Structure 1
Amino acid sequence: MRLQEIMSIVKEYFLLALIAVMVLGFIFFLGYFIVYRKLLGGKRRLSRKHLLLGGLFTGYVIMVIGVTFLNRDSSYPGGINVSFLSSYREAWYSFSVRNWQFVYLNIFMFVPFGILFPLLHTRFQKTVWTIGIAALFTLSIECVQLITGYGVFEVDDLINNLLGAIIGYGIIMGSITIRKKGIKRSFVYFSPLLLVVILSGSMFAYYYLKDFGNLSIMPNYKINMENTTITIDVQLDDHRRKVPVYKAPGYTKGSADEFVTDFFKRMNIDAMNKEVISYPDEGVYWIRDEISYNIWFRFLDGSYSYSDFSSFDEDKELKDVDEETLKENLAKFGIDVPQDSLFQKVDTGIYEWTLDKKVIENQLIDGSLTVDYYNDDTVKRLDNHLITYNKVKDVQIKSEQEAYKEILDGKFKYYPENNMIETLHIDKVEVSYYLDSKGYYQPVYAFHSTVDGREMTIFISGL
């Protein structure tokens, strides 16, 4: 999710909260000043400070409810996840901005609760009140999400929300304590915030200093394999061996922009006024003119998808053609199909080349290239995942037996019902490769299997 999208959501529900507070404030005005003060003769007065804090807190609660419920519909995949710290493991293994956003936004979302609630009344400055009410509030949100299906009941969300409330409570109480008792006495209140900053900084520093990235195929939690019937057709080796690690031709936003500009120039398309929508891991490039064009470019490995939207014109139809004509057309895009690529027709006018981990000296070529050919003798769509990786170095990987042991322990990524598998049959095992979060093509073991009657490949990290 881009920062602009987050700010758009915040703005939308800030306006909703503002309108709701104004309406509720008017109702409160009628009830307090007209009914309570005038008609009933009530003497109790409310200070402007308490009215302001009450309005802020009410608006904040409305914003939280809006973000957690109104931002979704009933088609949102509900469910329950009681696996402790699974969201942290998912964010770590994928190391995507999107997953880390979910973790930290769930923390930051409850920081205002911890700040505002103690200011409503001195009674709420006691830890048990603020943290207790925060726990009940976030538990209520998770329970309603579970019941309505407008979200997932997650233990991690409870923990993160509560941590945010503790941080907010520490900030406000630490600030109050500094004025009254000095910095030393306030340290205990600021310690939750300092701890989160130190742990986060250490974790990110460790990630950027280590040789390779993380693999998204790693499991967020273990699968219960106690009652699983396991059969295997292959003899597993118990010796470790050395295999290469490769690196994808990764791109920065700047180099990706240059690639896309050159791509359009080859097509004689003016790219000066191209529209760029940048995400952390990819960019979307638009040319909006009489004919619109689009490129979706992935920074990590340089793969991309291209669309010429004139394909939607009434007179345009997919057309069959021979391989050589296709290659001539692809040359205009600067694409040279590697030798030994397997060519096949997918459907009328739709063709694909695939190459399975072909090693040429210190390079490995892997992936697929799909093209759509039309009756005006042009390629109007292509999806290029045919990547050339460069060798980095040889590394020792675990044995097949060690990788198989991880399967027996349930340490692989799969989401069975009730977290249990009845039958697992392994047909074949081989060393394959998987792109990590830093753009390295890491060796993994691919166990070609049948799980509960369904064919799938189980990947286990080789490192």
Structure 2
Amino acid sequence: MQMYQNLRYLLLPVIAIIGIEFIGIAICYWLYIQKLKPKGKTPPPVKQLALGAILIGYIVFVLELTMFGRGTSYYLQMDLRPLSGYMEAWHKHSLRDLQNGIFNILMFVPMGVLLPWIHPKFRTFKWLILVTLGATLSIETYQTLSGAGLFEMDDIINNTLGGIIGYQLHRLATSIIRDKRIRLRILLANLAIPFLMVMVLIAANIVYARQEFGNLAINAYAKWNMSGVRVTSALQPGAAPSVAPVYKRILHTDAIQPQLVQTLGLTVQDERKENGEREVLLTDEAGSQYSLCVTFDGNATLHENGAEPEPTFNRTDGRQPTLKQAQTIMSELGILPQKAEAEKGEGGEFHWSLPDTDRISQDYWTGEISLTLKQDGRLSSLSYGLRKHQYVRDVAILTPAEAYERIREGNFPLLKRNALLTHDQLVIHQGDRLDITRIELTHMYDTKGFYQPVYRIYGNFNGDANWFTLIQASK
């Protein structure tokens, strides 16, 4: 949604420029005709002038997207892995990442359509490809030299592919206009690339749907070149464990709203849903308004609208809420699935925490609940972050020794764990030193909501003792 809003914003100056161009062309064309009409000269074709105006607007639009107004977060950085963006979209099962690749294709389709109509030279495929490739190479070179972006092989492939698709659409349109009908052979020939792309997406979705578990974003697309890199460890990783459990995340936020409504005597006034999240406006019997926000990942918050925080602790008049009052409300709500000790925090908050006790072959709950009480003991706010891990089955996993070998082979992802780290502090180079200090088995969620075993591997990278990476443990 944000992408489309940005496009609408960027299109405004483009539309204005094209409109001004058309007005200027109309005026100049009228004056040109009036001046040359007595001499019998042929005026320039209106179609060429109009297409030229559209081409200028299109170029401005592309420059807005690729050069103007971009930050300088990258310097002389390159990603020469072909199709890496699509592989990352697959591992993350991310529509957003896939949209970025598709948009880069669509961005250059107009070039393939317009150029052959503007000048007959570009009706030859090689000239169209040379211009398209030259344009995208210029953009990528500017981005890497200015720090406005990476020099990415994916962008070159996508932009060039977009130019080819545009060229084929031009040929198809020309054929239909010339023959006054659609020939099936020409239709299939000129729509072969989009058709193939759609078939690949369908096949990928079928494969993904047939998988028992989802994908993990940490799976590396390409290996690091570890030649000349010194990898050491004082550890002696053994052969155990051989199996680990997989769980399914179960969210119960749908049960929170009716429970709050019934227990606290709330009435629903309004409800809005957007991007998988829900916001509900409620009122109690005294007329106080509350907002309940439920996110797509199962977290929920309830707070009183317009209420000022009350300094309930540090009071000496005995009116501060008590732990017993908090436990009574929590018992009435019935949203704590198992016994947990309450802790009194700052600012009138009470916390219940269920630790992540995974690697057991049974269901368990994890997460936190916190609530804030008013001075009279009534609920002021509630934060719910519990989730159930439903045991699925045990799976065979790599041994710690095999995980260490993955590190030696360079088969691990780059993780930017600190925003202050530079690109050179993360990328593996010849002559670097990596000492593995700890290997532990943990879990992380995949794209289908399963909690899969992964190895978290700590090390000292060129003196940085906080280095770590993650490797999928299941075989």
- The normalised TM-score by structure 2 is 0.79
Instruction: Name the counterpart of 2:428.
Output: 420
Q: Which of these residues, 255, 261, 265, is aligned with residue 265 of structure 1?
A: 261
Q: Deviations over 1:162-214 (max 9, x none)?
A: 21222222222234346659443564433222221222221221111111100
> Can you list the C-alpha shifts for 1:305-354, whole angstroms capped at 9, x where unaligned?
415264x7445347487765544444455420634x57666755554624
Q: CA deviation at 1:137?
A: 2.5
2:299–2:384 CA contact under 8 A, matched in 1: yes
Given the superposition, is the C-alpha separation of residues 446 and 42 from structure 1 closer, same or farther in structure 2, using an over 3 Å criterion?
farther
User: Which runs of 5 or more residues in structure 2 are unaligned?
Assistant: 315-320, 417-421
Distance 1:420 1:326, change over 3 A: farther
- From 15, 18, 36, give the equivalent of 1:18: 15
* Match in the other structure for 1:396: 396
Give ranges in structure 1 of 5+ residues lacking alignment. none
CA contact (8 A) 2:245 2:360 kept: no
The answer for the alignment partner of 2:419 in structure 1 is none
Structure-2 residue corresponding to 1:201: 202
* Alpha-carbon distance, 1:440 to partner: 0.9
- Post-superposition CA distance 1:254-290 (Å, at most 9, x none): xx6x446436525544434122222xxx414253997
Q: CA deviation at 1:355?
A: 0.6
1:461 aligned to 2:472?
yes
Amino acid at match of 1:459: L
Amino acid at match of 2:458: H
Pick from 310, 319, 331 the counterpart of residue 316 of structure 1.
310
Distance 1:298 1:319, change over 3 A: farther
Alignment-derived partner of residue 165 in structure 2: 167
Task: Name the residue aligned to 1:356.
Answer: 356
Change (3 A) 1:94 1:69: same
Percent of counterpart pairs with the same letter? 24
Query: Residue 285 of structure 1: SS of its match in structure 2?
Result: strand
Between the aligned partners of 1:318 and 1:61, the Cα distance in structure 2 is: 61
Partners of 2:206 and 2:212 lie apart in 1 by: 12
Task: Verify the 8 A CA contact 1:215 1:435 in the aligned structure 2.
Answer: yes
TM-score, with structure 1 as normaliser: 0.81
Q: Deviations over 1:345-388 (max 9, x none)?
A: 6755554624122567621334x31536355453525251x321
Pairing 1:11-410 to 2, within 5 Å after superposition:
11-31=8-28, 33-34=30-31, 38=35, 43=41, 45-69=43-67, 74=71, 77-79=73-75, 80-84=77-81, 85-177=83-175, 182-184=183-185, 187-238=188-239, 241-249=242-250, 258-259=254-255, 261-262=257-258, 265-266=261-262, 267-278=264-275, 282-285=276-279, 287=281, 291=289, 293-299=291-297, 303-308=298-303, 310=305, 313-317=307-311, 319=313, 325-331=325-331, 334-336=334-336, 338-339=338-339, 349=348, 351=351, 353-358=353-358, 362-366=362-366, 368-369=367-368, 371=370, 373=372, 375-376=374-375, 377=377, 378=379, 380-382=381-383, 384=385, 386-410=386-410
**In 1, distance between residues paired with 2:74 and 2:28?**
40
**Cα–Cα, structure 1 residues 379 and 400, in superposed 2: closer, same or farther, change >3 Å?**
farther
Distance 1:462 1:375, change over 3 A: same
Count of matched residue positions in the alignment of Structure 1 and Structure 2: 443
Moved more, 181-190 or 108-117: 181-190
Alpha-carbon distance in structure 2 between the residues aligned to 1:288 and 1:150: 46
1:447 aligns with 2:457: yes
Please identify, of 208-217 and 51-60, the stretch whose mean Cα deviation from structure 2 is larger.
51-60
Partner SS for 1:458 = strand
The answer (yes or no) to whether the contact 2:266–2:282 under 8 Å persists in 1 is: no
The one-letter code matched in structure 2 to 1:19 is A
CA RMSD of aligned residues (A): 3.6
CA-CA distance at 1:147 after TM superposition: 4.4
Secondary structure class of the residue paired with 1:357:
coil
* Deviation larger for 356-365 or 135-144: 356-365
Change (3 A) 1:152 1:343: farther
Q: Relative to structure 1, is the Cα distance of residues 264 and 209 closer, same or farther in structure 2, using a 3 angstrom cutoff? A: same
1:45 maps to a residue whose letter is P
SS at match of 1:275: strand
Structure with max Cα Rg:
2
